[in-house]
């Protein structure tokens, strides 16, 4: 008989549903020592909170997230609200002795992210961020190839993250164009590629950035227009601790791109290519192959790529985005159990990612290289 762990969920939009699915499925997929019990759900509107609690299977609902945090039956809090609300909610949960699973990024302001890290240190509970892409079994396979030296020393990296939800110039001015909500593509997107860098090769030691706005203004509801304050595009040159160079490009206005995180890693003896839009495959080229058959080979995800086999025994059938969240949930449960090997971006590592983003923004302002260390 496994012990239970009481779950609280704040926010029930895109990510809220994703967390609810993960909490519901993690036991069936991983059979954890602690079985999640869906205890309390918070939404901004009481009626929506009650409806979502019924849909997702939570016992209680509230429009006051502090009530959820004060609930003694809640052991772990999923925070899936807009970025600006993360610090207050995460710090309150940590001060109440709860474990926290907070969506990325930590906070718009670096000082608030640091306060969240400090609260996690003081609480001593598990505090992790929603960096689901690192959980892909194929990203783990890339990590394995790098670790085994399959492509030799990394000489160059390129990462591009592109989507098109800001591509239409006629879409109205909203929070994504409002500077009060952050820099734009840098904190919306760049944090994800940085989480991948963090597990694959480490974060950059210095960066130089140029950001741009595809549209200077967007229409407003009253028939006028308002100047866009955020940058939908950011281009970053970076240097790794090893001295290898890299390029990171992020664009929220790239027509036709829906969930692209394209990673190219070039090494002294080979190359690795991956794209999140084809998340069940990795391209691998080895200069050590027989020249007669040399070429990129496609490795399809299968049970050889842990934890793929937990979901489906047949290779090549594929995992999906929500499965990454289930894996992240299982890793969080390992962290809660004190397993130092849990594969998570905790608030300590998360703060390093936030600092990289703010360094990139400072570089855009100054026009020069900015050191991260
Ligand atoms: P969303 O707008 O779909 O959902 C946010 C929810 O929070 C809404 O249901 C809203 O009503 C609720 N909310 C707002 N204020 C609240 C309050 N005071 N109390 C309770 N609920 C409140 O947004 P989203 O796309 O789910 O984004 C949420 C977070 O997830 C953001 O931080 C975003 O950066 C992150 N995100 C992560 C990923 C990922 O891949 N990990 C993808 C998308 C979004």
**270 with 152: CB under 8 angstroms?**
yes
As a whole number, mean pLDDT of residues 242-250 equals 98
As a whole number, mean pLDDT of residues 104-127 equals 97
pLDDT of residue 181: 83
What value, to the nearest 5°, has the Cα angle with vertex 135 and ends 42 and 200?
130
Indicate the CATH number of 133-317+344-371 among 3.40.50.80, 3.30.360.10, 3.60.15.10, 3.40.50.720.
Answer: 3.30.360.10
- Looking at the chain, the whole-number percentage of residues with pLDDT higher than 70 is 99
pLDDT of residue 73: 98
Domain regions of the chain by residue span: 4-125, 133-317+344-371
Centroid of ligand 1 to alpha carbon of 14 (angstroms): 6
For residue range 148-164, what is the model confidence (pLDDT) as tens digits? 999 999 999 999 999 99
Q: The tokens of 334 are what? A: 């390992």
Which tops the pLDDT comparison, 13 or 181?
Answer: 13
For residue range 93-103, what is the model confidence (pLDDT) as tens digits? 999 999 999 99
Q: Please give the number of the atom of ligand 1 that sits closest to the Cα of 42.
A: 20
Residue 345 reports pLDDT greater than 70: yes
Q: What is the dihedral of CA 85, 87, 88, 90, to 10 degrees?
A: 110
**Cβ of 308 less than 6 Å from ligand 1:** no
Q: Which residues have C-beta within 8 Å of that of residue 150, sequence separation ≥ 6?
A: 267, 269, 270, 284, 286
Hey, is 184 helix, strand or coil? strand
Enter the pTM of the model. Answer: 0.97
- The Cα–Cα gap between 238 and 332 comes to 30
Mutate to test the pocket of ligand 1, among 53, 58, 80, 106 (most ligand atoms within 8 A of CB): 80
pLDDT of residue 90: 99
- What are the respective helix, strand and coil percentages of the chain, to the nearest 5? 40, 25, 35
As a whole number, mean pLDDT of residues 309-331 equals 98
pLDDT of residue 373: 77
Q: Which residues have C-beta within 8 Å of that of residue 316, sequence separation ≥ 6?
A: 280, 300, 301, 302
**Cβ of 82 less than 6 Å from ligand 1:** yes
- Looking at the chain, the whole-number percentage of residues with pLDDT higher than 90 is 97
**Cβ of 80 less than 6 Å from ligand 1:** yes
**Cβ of 13 less than 6 Å from ligand 1:** yes
Mutate to test the pocket of ligand 1, among 8, 9, 13, 258 (most ligand atoms within 8 A of CB): 13
**Cβ of 136 less than 6 Å from ligand 1:** no
According to DSSP, residue 289 is labeled S
As a whole number, mean pLDDT of residues 52-59 equals 98
pLDDT of residue 265: 98
Give the neighbor-by-neighbor strand order of the sheet with 99-102: 60-62, 34-42, 3-10, 76-79, 99-102, 127-129
State the burial class of residue 275 (Cβ atoms within 10 Å of its Cβ: 0-12, 13-18, 19+).
middle
pLDDT band with cut points at 50, 70 and 90 for residue 2:
low
DSSP notation for 212-258 = E-S-SEEE-TTS-EEE--SBSEEEEEEE-TTS-EEEEEEES--TT-S
Residue 1 reports pLDDT greater than 60: no
CA-wise closest residue to 104 among 345, 280, 372, 356: 345
As a whole number, mean pLDDT of residues 288-302 equals 98
- The Cα–Cα gap between 363 and 366 comes to 5
**Cβ of 12 less than 6 Å from ligand 1:** yes
DSSP notation for 72-123 = TT--EEEE-S-GGGHHHHHHHHHHTT-EEEE-SSS-SSHHHHHHHHHHHHHH
According to DSSP, residue 273 is labeled E
The CATH code of domain 4-125 reads 3.40.50.720
Residue of minimum CA distance from atom 4 in ligand 1:
13
As a whole number, mean pLDDT of residues 260-284 equals 98
List Cα–Cα distances, 106 to 178, 233, 267, 348, 369, in angstroms: 18, 21, 32, 11, 24
- The Cα–Cα gap between 372 and 360 comes to 9
pLDDT of residue 33: 84
pLDDT of residue 257: 98
**Cβ of 331 less than 6 Å from ligand 1:** no
């Amino acid at each position: 008989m496994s012990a239970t762990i009481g779950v609280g969920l704040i926010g029930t939009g895109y990510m809220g549903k994703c967390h609810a699915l993960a909490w519901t499925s993690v036991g069936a997929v991983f059979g954890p020592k602690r079985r999640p019990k869906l205890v309390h759900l918070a939404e901004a509107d009481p009626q929506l909170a009650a409806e979502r609690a019924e849909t997702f299977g939570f016992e209680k609902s509230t429009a006051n997230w502090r009530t959820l945090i004060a609930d003694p039956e809640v052991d772990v809090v999923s925070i899936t609200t807009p970025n600006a609300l993360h610090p207050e909610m995460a710090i309150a949960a940590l001060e109440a002795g709860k474990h926290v699973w907070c969506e990325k990024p930590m906070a718009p302001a670096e000082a608030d992210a640091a306060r969240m890290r400090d609260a996690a240190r003081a609480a001593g509970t598990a505090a992790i961020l929603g960096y689901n892409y690192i959980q892909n079994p194929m990203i783990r396979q890339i990590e394995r190839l790098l670790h085994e030296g399959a492509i030799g020393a990394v000489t160059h990296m390129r990462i591009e993250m592109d989507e098109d939800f800001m591509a239409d110039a006629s879409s109205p001015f909203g929070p994504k164009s409002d500077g009060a909500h952050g820099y734009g593509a840098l904190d919306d997107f760049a944090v994800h590629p940085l989480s991948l860098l963090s597990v694959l090769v480490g974060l950059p030691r210095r960066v130089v950035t140029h950001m741009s706005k595809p549209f200077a203004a967007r229409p407003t509801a009253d028939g006028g227009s308002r100047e866009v304050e955020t940058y939908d595009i950011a281009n970053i040159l970076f240097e790794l601790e090893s001295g290898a160079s890299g390029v990171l490009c992020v664009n929220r206005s790239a027509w036709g791109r829906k969930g692209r995180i394209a990673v190219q890693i070039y090494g002294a003896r080979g190359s690795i290519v991956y794209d999140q839009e084809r998340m069940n495959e990795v391209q691998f080229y080895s200069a050590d192959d027989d020249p007669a058959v040399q070429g990129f080979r496609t490795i399809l995800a299968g049970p050889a790529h842990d934890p793929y086999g937990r979901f489906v025994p047949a290779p090549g059938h594929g995992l999906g985005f929500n499965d990454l969240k289930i894996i992240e949930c299982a890793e969080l449960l390992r962290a809660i159990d004190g397993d130092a090997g849990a594969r998570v971006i905790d608030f300590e590592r998360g703060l390093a990612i936030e600092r990289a983003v703010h360094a990139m923004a400072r570089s855009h302002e100054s026009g020069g290289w900015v050191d991260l260390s």
